[in-house]
């Protein structure tokens, strides 16, 4: 009797923490299908937690610890080695940078099928500086080389990124779809509305502390409101990101904390517990997000959202329904939006209820996982 072959999925990411926070439900669903699963990212090969899931871990260079052509080639060669060693039935690579590397690696060794999830375009298309314009002129033809052709399928997380890549001829519409975000487990983030108007409501910013995430605008909005006598507390959950030159330094964030402008919580692991305490979630990002999961998690628990009217972020907020959209890099308008919600408890409740409904309808993790597995089936036919 011929032994049944179990399909093998190779998942490639740029960060092990991202796997746990964003792609663990997909991994569990893959294993539940009795598929084999391998994970390639920095730290995966030595992770006991990865091994306990019955997932084979493979090591990639840490993308934040190198620069220059040699380092890019090192990542490329590592990917070629992992793909050649594992011989997966399907490759699923997540985030733009590693999608590019993997697309090139797979083309060099004639490997397919490959599914790419483009979880936001970062600063590649949002930064209009001369340096970035030059980088885009180089990157776009390379992205075409990585993504175009038979046996390749792209998942975009918002329609803006989808349209942009089609307009630049990076990919054909027929080999794409939109799956908005990585999904929210609504049982892990239960609807928990504010029970009463707090004496000092908490306004939360949660993200890596890099400037493109809008951390400077949040701090300036806090300054403006505190100068007006607002009694709210402005909390920041997240750590400095030393790999990124645009990150706040530890000294900068500690000084702001000591001045009383903000309260720095550092890295918070129990986000549902924190969301229960806050009144408003704020992320004034202009980074080029996919769909920020942190906004959807806060909305699932019934918190109103304030974010910027930019690709990705606006997918999480219907302006005037579950939150407020403000222009990017506009701390005064951001402070006005925060003040409006701080002074209107009933409006916060209305927005919070609507946010939970939106997440249940459009961002449930089970739907995201199911649609992703359907793409696997399509590509492995």
pLDDT score of 139 more than 90 = no
| pLDDT tens-digit series, residues 309-337 | 999 999 999 999 999 999 999 999 999 99
Domains 8-183+364-379 and 202-362 share a fold: yes
User: Rounded mean pLDDT of 9-16?
Assistant: 94
Question: pLDDT tier at 133 (50, 70, 90 boundaries)?
Answer: confident
* pTM assigned to the model: 0.91
Pick the CATH number of 202-362 from 1.10.1750.10, 3.40.640.10, 3.30.1960.10, 3.40.50.2000: 3.40.50.2000
The residue among 179 and 131 whose pLDDT is bigger is 179
Q: Are 47 and 57 in contact (CB under 8 A)?
A: yes
Neighbours of 203 (CB within 10 A): 24
Q: Give the pLDDT of residue 66.
A: 57
When computed from its CA atoms, the radius of gyration of the chain, rounded to whole angstroms, is 21
The sign of the dihedral angle between the CA atoms of 245, 251, 255, 256 is positive
Q: What is the 3-state secondary structure (H, E, C) of the chain?
A: CCCCCCCEEEEECCCHHHHHHHHHHHHHHHHHCCCEEEEECCCHHHCHHHHHCCCEEECCCCCCCCCHHHHHHHHHHHHHHHHHHHCCCEEEEECHHHHHHHHHHHHHCCCCCEEEEECCCCCCCCCCCHHHHHHHHHHHHHHHHHHCCCCEEEEECCHHHHHHHHHCCCCCHHHEEECCCCCECCCCCCCCCCCCCCCCCEEEEECCCEHHHCHHHHHHHHHHHHHCCCCCEEEEECCCCCCCCCECCHHHHHHHHHHCCCEEEECCCCHHHHHHHCCEEEECCCCCCCCCHHHHHHHHCCCCEEEECCCCHHHHCCECCCEEEECCCCHHHHHHHHHHHHCCHHHHHHHHHHHHHHHHHHCEHHHHHHHHHHHHHHHCC
Q: How confident is the model at residue 245 (pLDDT cuts 50, 70, 90)?
A: confident
Picking from 105, 73, 85, 75, the residue whose alpha carbon sits closest to that of residue 38 is 85
Per residue in 77-116, pLDDT (tens digit) is: 999 999 999 999 999 999 888 999 999 999 999 999 999 9
Residue 261 confidence (pLDDT) above 50:
yes
Please, are residues 171 and 322 in contact by the beta-carbon 8 Å criterion?
no
pLDDT tops 50 at residue 135: yes
Crossing angle of the two packed helices 345-362 and 293-300, in degrees rounded to 10: 110
Query: What residue spans define the domains of the chain?
Result: 8-183+364-379, 202-362
Decide if pLDDT at 1 tops 50: no
Structure confidence by residue, pLDDT tens digits, 18-53:
999 999 999 999 999 999 999 999 999 999 999 999
% of the chain at pLDDT higher than 90: 82
Do 296 and 329 form a contact (C-beta atoms < 8 A)? no
**What average pLDDT does range 147-160 have in this prediction?**
93
Give the span between the Cα atoms of 379 and 175, in whole angstroms.
10
Q: State the average pLDDT for the chain.
A: 93
pLDDT at 3 over 70: no
Query: Residue 4 has what pLDDT?
Result: 57
> In CATH, which of 3.30.470.20, 3.40.50.2000, 3.40.605.10, 3.90.1150.10 is domain 8-183+364-379?
3.40.50.2000
Residue 369 contacts residue 25 (beta carbons within 8 Å): yes
């Amino acid at each position: 009797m011929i032994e049944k072959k179990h399909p093998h999925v190779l998942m490639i990411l740029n960060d092990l923490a991202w796997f746990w926070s964003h792609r663990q439900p997909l991994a569990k669903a893959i294993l539940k299908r009795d598929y084999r699963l391998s994970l390639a990212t920095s730290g995966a090969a030595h992770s006991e937690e990865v091994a306990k899931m019955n997932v084979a871990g493979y090591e990639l260079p840490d993308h934040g610890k190198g620069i220059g052509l040699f380092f890019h080639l090192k990542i490329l060669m590592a990917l070629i080695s992992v793909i050649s060693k594992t011989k997966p039935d399907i490759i699923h690579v997540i985030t733009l940078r590693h999608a590019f590397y993997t697309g090139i690696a797979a083309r060099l060794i004639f490997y397919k099928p490959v599914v790419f999830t483009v979880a936001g375009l970062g600063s590649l298309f949002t930064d209009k500086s001369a340096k970035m314009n030059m980088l885009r002129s180089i990157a776009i033809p390379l992205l075409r080389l990585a993504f175009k052709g038979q046996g390749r399928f792209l998942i975009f997380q918002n329609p803006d990124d989808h349209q942009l890549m089609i307009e630049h001829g990076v990919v054909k519409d027929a080999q794409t779809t939109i799956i908005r975000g990585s999904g929210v487990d609504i049982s892990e983030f239960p609807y928990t509305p504010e029970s009463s108007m707090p004496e000092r409501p908490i306004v939360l910013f949660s993200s890596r502390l890099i400037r493109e995430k809008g951390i400077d605008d949040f701090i300036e909005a806090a300054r403006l409101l505190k100068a007006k006598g607002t009694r709210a507390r402005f909390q920041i959950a997240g750590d400095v990101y030393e790999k990124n030159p645009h990150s706040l330094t530890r000294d900068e964030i500690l000084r702001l904390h000591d001045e009383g402008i903000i309260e720095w919580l550092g890295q918070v692991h129990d986000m549902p517990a924190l969301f229960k305490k806050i009144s408003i979630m704020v992320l004034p990002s202009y980074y080029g997000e996919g769909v920020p999961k942190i906004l959807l998690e806060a909305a699932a628990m019934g918190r109103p959202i304030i974010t910027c009217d930019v690709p990705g972020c606006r997918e999480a907020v219907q302006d005037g329904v579950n939150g407020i959209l403000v222009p990017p890099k506009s701390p005064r308008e951001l402070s006005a939006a925060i003040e409006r919600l701080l002074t209107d408890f009933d409006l916060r409740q209305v927005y919070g209820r609507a946010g939970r409904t939106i997440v249940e309808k459009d961002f449930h993790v089970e739907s995201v996982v199911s649609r992703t597995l359907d793409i696997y089936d399509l590509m492995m036919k």
